[in-house]
Structure 1
């Protein structure tokens, strides 16, 4: 594999009604189509399923006459992450998705969400939870961390590391970081982040 087994597939249902007419799809039925698309991808990519069969209502079928190669060597299946809620219930997110990345999460709700996922889980497998942050890394390492609209986080390297560490203590496993709001030179931001934030989470 070109990615040396580091490929993770993230899937989202989309949430903009204006996008759906372009694909001749009904906006109201996106939750069901998301689940079917997920299963359609999962079926031929599982390591133990050869020439798999699948019958769906929205995306056609697999009749067992073709196989997908190569499979993921050394893995049971292709890692798949739900991006956003995708209109799925917590039971589905806790058992079907290998992980879940949400957005606009209030920091005080992180622990509650992780507990709900754990309580709804039935396959006895860890399904990590994470969320997205737009991040503005300020040049003052001691600038306090400030969160706006539960998604836009700004502050210095020390405060951001402390903020994410406090969230990790509540069960947060992953953070998707978008440096788009940052006004500093990008190379400078990446160096600052790699030297003063990432090492705090090296374990």
Structure 2
């Protein structure tokens, strides 16, 4: 297991955050977005650095950024807007301890050698904090723009994973190398299955980034994952959270997550842990309350339940 994954799993279960740290999917956030003239699904990133530093100080275990090269109004989600590797370099400079994850880099859309160089750079600049989630992609409209084949994305994914493992490419001529070289093996986690069999993923990847589901649904999948990958390779996922101010507000389920108070959130996270999930990234774009206020509450009352001080 890589050092970054050991840090992610320290204590057996951990909690992180999925960027952007904005609540633009709430009613108030939608009104603010429209007044500011931002696109649907384009977050307010004015305070992104301040909020990332707050998350770091509070003890969240990881910040996860998505790779969305193009805004498509049919999807209406611009993720955190910034180019993923450039943003990781910035986050490495403004944070100290928090792990930095991609969820996930769409390998078939990218030039493979430059992906190698960017990943090693981000890992070295962050002092080994990179968790590199990778995927084959699921938006057909993007592939013609980059001159890539949507139908062949599974083959491209498998080939690029091999390049990242071997740190070389058949396209490199004699004496050519990709610098910087990784100081340590990269932590490679797959989102979905990358158009591969679960047996292939279990053998070749270091962990799984699963789509948001209920604890009961995760239980079936964690058992299937660990059956092919072994107990040491983590199963991680995400929750779309709307944290209410009333601490004992009951859990109400919505698409990909829950609306609840902090007691209900603790119960939900405990159920995730019991189902075999080893890390949860909280997605806060549905939150009705200010994001900083939500981070402070989780940091004060929820993280101490699960993270060793």
Q: TM class, shorter-chain normalised?
A: 0.7 to 0.9
Residue 193 in structure 1 maps to residue 301 in structure 2: no
Aligned to 1:49: none
Q: Using the TM superposition, give the Cα deviation of residue 36 of structure 1 relative to its aligned residue in structure 2, in angstroms.
A: 1.2
Aligned to 1:31: 154
Q: Using the TM superposition, give the Cα deviation of residue 87 of structure 1 relative to its aligned residue in structure 2, in angstroms.
A: 2.2
**For 1:133, what is the secondary structure of its paired residue?**
strand
| Residues paired across the two proteins, number | 185
Q: Distance in 2 between matches of 1:157 and 1:128?
A: 25
Residue 96 in structure 1 maps to residue 201 in structure 2: no
Q: Using the TM superposition, give the Cα deviation of residue 138 of structure 1 relative to its aligned residue in structure 2, in angstroms.
A: 1.0
**For 1:100, what is the secondary structure of its paired residue?**
strand
Residue 107 in structure 1 maps to residue 212 in structure 2: no
Question: Of residues 188, 191, 195 in structure 2, which corresponds to 1:83?
Answer: 191
Q: Using the TM superposition, give the Cα deviation of residue 82 of structure 1 relative to its aligned residue in structure 2, in angstroms.
A: 0.9
Aligned to 1:136: 242
Greater mean alpha carbon deviation, residues 82-91 or residues 157-166:
82-91
Does the CA contact (< 8 Å) of 1:5 and 1:72 recur in 2? no
**For 1:197, what is the secondary structure of its paired residue?**
helix
Higher relative contact order (CA closer than 8 Å, sequence separation 6+): 2
Q: Distance in 1 between matches of 2:262 and 2:292?
A: 15
Runs of 5+ consecutive residues of structure 1 not aligned to the other structure: 45-51, 56-60
Does the CA contact (< 8 Å) of 1:85 and 1:102 recur in 2? no
Does the CA contact (< 8 Å) of 1:142 and 1:156 recur in 2? yes
Q: Using the TM superposition, give the Cα deviation of residue 70 of structure 1 relative to its aligned residue in structure 2, in angstroms.
A: 4.1
**For 2:245, what is the secondary structure of its paired residue?**
coil
Does the CA contact (< 8 Å) of 1:31 and 1:86 recur in 2? yes
Aligned to 1:145: 251
TM-score (structure 2 length as normaliser) = 0.55
**For 1:198, what is the secondary structure of its paired residue?**
helix
Question: Of residues 255, 263, 271 in structure 2, which corresponds to 1:158?
Answer: 263
